[in-house]
Amino acid sequence: MRLQKYYVAMTLGFVLLILPVFLTDKHHLNIAVMTLMYAALALFWNWVGGYTGQLSFAHIVFFGIGAYTSTLLFLHFNVSPWLGMLVGGILSSVIAGFLSYWTVRLKGPFFALATLALSQVSLIVAVFWKDLTGGSQGLSLPLAMSFQNMLFDSKAAYYFIICVLVLIGLSVSVRIENSRTGYLLKALKLSEAAAEAVGINSLKLKVRIMCLSAFFTSLAGTFYAQYIMYIDPYSVFNLELNILMILIVMIGGQAAYLGPMIGALLLVPVNEVLRSELAQFGDGIHGMLYGAILMLIIILAPQGVIGMLRKWNTRRLSKYQSE
C-alpha cells in the first residue's frame, strides 16, 4: 500500500511537471498556478485539520507572516525571497509552536474559535501597523526580474516553483500516512482520551504537526507575494482564504493525501471558468451556480470524493466476494 501511494504521487508529479507544455495560453497557465497554490495550502492545512480533526482558522496568519516577512526583508534589506521565505517559515513555526501549545488544549469548537480570533487580531494588527505593513495601502514589489529576486516574466517559472511545493506536500502527506506519526494522529482523531491512556503525548504531537504545517503554509505565502507582486492585509490575512482551504479538503476528502489535490482540481478551475463565462449575465450569477455545484457535491459525497470512491470500492469488493 505504501509503495502504491508513492507510485500514484510520482505519476501525479510527472503529469504536473509536463502540464505547461500543453498550456500555451497565459490565462490557462494562471489558473493552473492558482489551482496548485490552493492545493498546496489545502495539503498543509490537511495535516492539522484532516489528520488530527482540529478545525484551524490560524493558517492565514502563517500565510500572511510568510508573505510579509519575505517582502519586508526584500524591500528594506535586499534579502533574496529564497532566503526570506525560509526566515518566514521559521518565524511562523516558532509562533505556531507558542500559540498551539495553549490552543490545542481546547476541546471541541473552542479551538476553532480561538484560532478564528487569532486570525482576526492578526488582520487588525496588520492594518493599523502602517509603519511596518503599509496598512491598507499594502506593499508593492519592484519590477526587478531575476531568479535571485524570485520575479519572472514567464508564468511557467512560477508554475514550476509552486509545483515543487505541491510535490513536497504530497510526499510529506504520504510519509505521514505511512509512518508511526500518522498512526498516532489517527488514534488521536478517533479518541484522544483513549490515545493518552496508552501513553501517546497528544500535546507534543499536535504542536509538532502544527509547526510543520505553519512552516510550509508560510512558504506558500512568500510565493503568493512574489507571484502577485503586491500584498495588503486584506489579501494575505483573508479569512475567506482559510475557509477555502477547509472547503477544498472537505470536498476532496480529509486525512487523505490525494484529497486536497482532488478538491482543488474540482473547485478552483470550475470557479474561474464560471466567473469568466457567466460574467456577461450579471454579478452573482456565477456565485449562485458555483454554490449549487458545491451543495450537489456535498450531498453526493458527504465524506468527500475520496470517501465516496472508497465506499464504491468497498461495495464492489463485497459484491465480487459474494459472487
Contacts with 170 (C-beta within 8 Å, 6 or more apart), sequence order: 9, 12, 13, 43, 257, 261
Q: Where are the alpha helices (DSSP H) in the chain?
A: 2-18, 26-49, 59-77, 81-103, 109-128, 130-133, 155-177, 180-190, 192-197, 202-228, 233-236, 239-252, 259-277, 285-300, 304-322
Cβ atoms of 42 and 249 within 8 Å: the answer is yes
The pLDDT score that the predictor gives to residue 1 is 56
Residue 261 pLDDT: 93
Are 137 and 243 in contact by the 8 Å Cβ rule? The answer is no
The string of DSSP codes covering 63-125 is HHHHHHHHHHHHHHH---HHHHHHHHHHHHHHHHHHHHHHHTT--THHHHHHHHHHHHHHHHH
Ordered per-residue pLDDT tens for the chain, 323 residues: 556 666 777 788 788 888 888 887 888 899 999 999 999 999 999 999 999 989 999 999 999 999 999 999 999 999 999 999 999 999 999 999 999 999 988 887 899 999 999 999 999 999 999 999 999 899 999 989 999 999 999 899 999 999 999 999 999 999 998 888 888 888 888 888 888 888 889 999 999 999 999 999 999 999 999 999 999 999 999 999 999 999 999 999 998 889 999 999 989 988 888 887 777 776 678 788 888 888 888 888 888 888 888 778 777 766 666 66
Q: Which domain holds residue 245?
A: 2-322
Tell me the β-bridge partners of 140: 230
Cα–Cα distance list, 131 to 63, 120, 125, 127, 136 (Å): 20, 19, 11, 10, 11
Neighbour-count burial of 240, counting CB atoms closer than 10 A to its CB (0-12 exposed, 13-18 middle, 19+ buried)? exposed
CA distance 296 to 281: 23
Q: Identify which of 39, 34, 16, 35 has the alpha carbon closest to the alpha carbon of residue 249.
A: 39
Report the C-alpha gap between 59 and 289 in whole angstroms.
28
User: Which of 257, 256, 322, 247 lies closest to 291 in space, CA to CA?
Assistant: 247
Residue 2 burial (CB count, 10 A): 11
Nine-digit cell string for 114? 480561538
Asked if residues 40 and 206 have their Cβ atoms less than 8 Å apart, the reply is: no
Question: What's the pLDDT score for residue 78?
Answer: 94
CA atoms of 242 and 88, how far apart (whole Å): 18
Contacts of 144 (CB under 8 A, 6+ apart): 151
**What confidence tens digit (pLDDT) does each residue in 29-76 have?**
999 999 999 999 999 999 999 999 899 999 999 999 999 999 999 999
At residue 294, what is the residue type?
A: L
Total number of domains in the chain:
1
